[in-house]
């Protein structure tokens, strides 16, 4: 065990959890109507709790167990069977590696929340999220990070896919699942209500930015120069994408919005995530600068031209950002084209099939969408019996 590595990953684990609670909850919560903000908080918080238990029970074993097929890790490490305080994973206590990866298993299904807010059934959220994490996310983790079929020597040859912190594992899977769910749900009754609290959005985005240092820097799994470089390029990409998004808004619409600025931040963070362990500051500047414009154009494509109500633009920002960053690894010569594109294709097809199957199966037992009256009145009071703001007290 290395004490410095252990201390850094303890901090990084806390930072990644901070991304979901409260960062993502505030970012998403500020973007919805006032009558739905508590439902967003509830969904993010409950997903964090449920994914923690499921990761302990089965997820960690499926993702990082000693499976010999390359397709899944098996169930030998269910409930951390055989893992003690003295067990090591590299230079880290294995229980810390488990906890760090658990925070990734929390935020990935939580990202999908942004696609279905304001109209989804709470029972569906929990059931779908739990099964999706175990049957879609965890196997993909094993394929890419757990020594599975897409790692070095796997189906793509000697040089496997390069995905430092989750462009494919986190952002492509969550983005595609979000898009598919949005299509199955159909649009909200009122798609054009502005964000009820842009202040929440800015605070949440700022928390995500800070937390992303643990997300990307922690993925080095060591306290060294690689972690420092990953942290630095993460920051540069976020800054560049924020400005390019705002600039492009100004060019197209005559005004740059604060919600647009911070959405650009998230686009830059998602785009640098897979590449953060392989590129330097100049490459990060390019990735971020392009991502701010690219993701904004995809928002317009999905929302206005395709008329898909991916409510908070999960696919256009996270999905497209992660895919773009994964491709840029090959552009800059840090990964093999066949591996980068092949992994995107295989994981894309797998995610699509599993997501559609789970929507059908879970939807047969619980309502996918709330009734029109509940949607009109808001999920806060109708589903959870609470209001975020009591103006009479």
* Mean pLDDT, each 10-residue run in order, the chain (393 residues): 98 98 98 97 98 98 93 96 95 98 98 97 98 98 97 95 98 98 94 93 98 98 98 98 98 97 98 98 98 98 96 97 98 97 98 98 96 96 94 72
User: Residue 391: its pLDDT value, please?
Assistant: 75
User: Residue 393: its pLDDT value, please?
Assistant: 67
Task: Please say whether the beta carbons of 250 and 223 come within 8 A.
Answer: no
| pLDDT per position as a tens digit, 200-218 | 999 999 999 999 999 999 9
Task: Please say whether the beta carbons of 144 and 168 come within 8 A.
Answer: yes
Alpha helices in the chain (DSSP H): 3-18, 25-31, 37-54, 60-64, 94-116, 122-132, 138-144, 173-185, 198-212, 225-253, 258-272, 281-300, 314, 320-331, 337-363, 372-377, 379-383
Q: Is the pTM of this model over 0.85?
A: yes
């Amino acid at each position: 065990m290395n004490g410095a590595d252990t201390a850094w990953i303890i901090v990084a684990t806390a930072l990644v959890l901070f991304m979901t609670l409260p960062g993502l909850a505030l970012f998403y919560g500020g973007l919805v109507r006032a009558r739905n903000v508590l439902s967003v908080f509830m969904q993010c918080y409950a997903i964090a709790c449920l994914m923690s238990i499921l990761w302990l029970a089965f997820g960690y074993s499926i993702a990082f167990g000693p499976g010999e097929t390359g397709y899944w890790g098996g169930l030998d490490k269910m409930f951390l069977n055989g893992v003690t305080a003295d067990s090591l994973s590299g230079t880290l206590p294995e229980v810390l590696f488990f906890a760090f990866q658990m925070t990734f298993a929390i935020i990935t299904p939580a990202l999908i929340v942004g696609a279905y807010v304001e109209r989804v059934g709470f029972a569906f959220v929990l059931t779908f999220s739990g099964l999706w994490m175990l049957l879609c996310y965890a196997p993909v983790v094993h394929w890419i990070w757990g020594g599975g079929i897409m790692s070095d020597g796997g189906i793509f040859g000697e040089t496997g896919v390069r995905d430092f912190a989750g462009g494919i594992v986190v952002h492509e899977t969550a983005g595609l699942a979000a898009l598919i769910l949005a299509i199955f749900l159909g649009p909200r009754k009122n798609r054009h209500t502005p964000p009820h609290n842009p202040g929440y959005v800015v605070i949440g985005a700022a928390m995500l930015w800070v937390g992303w240092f643990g997300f990307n820097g922690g993925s080095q799994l060591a306290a060294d120069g690689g972690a420092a470089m990953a942290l630095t390029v993460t920051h540069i990409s976020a800054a560049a994408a924020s400005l390019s998004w705002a600039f492009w808004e100004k060019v197209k619409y005559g005004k740059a919005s604060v919600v647009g600025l911070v959405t650009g931040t998230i686009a830059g963070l998602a785009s640098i995530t897979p590449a953060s362990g392989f590129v330097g500051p100049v490459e990060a500047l390019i990735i971020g600068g392009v991502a701010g414009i690219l993701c904004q154009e995809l928002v317009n494509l999905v929302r206005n031209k395709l008329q898909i109500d991916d409510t908070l633009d999960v696919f256009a920002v996270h999905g497209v950002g992660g895919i773009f960053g994964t491709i840029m690894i090959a552009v800059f010569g840090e990964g093999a084209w066949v591996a980068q594109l092949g992994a995107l294709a295989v994981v894309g097809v797998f995610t699509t099939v599993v997501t559609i199957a789970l929507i059908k199966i879970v939807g047969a037992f619980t309502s996918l969408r709330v009734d029109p009256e509940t949607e009109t009145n808001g999920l806060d009071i109708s589903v959870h019996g609470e209001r975020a703001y009591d103006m009479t007290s």
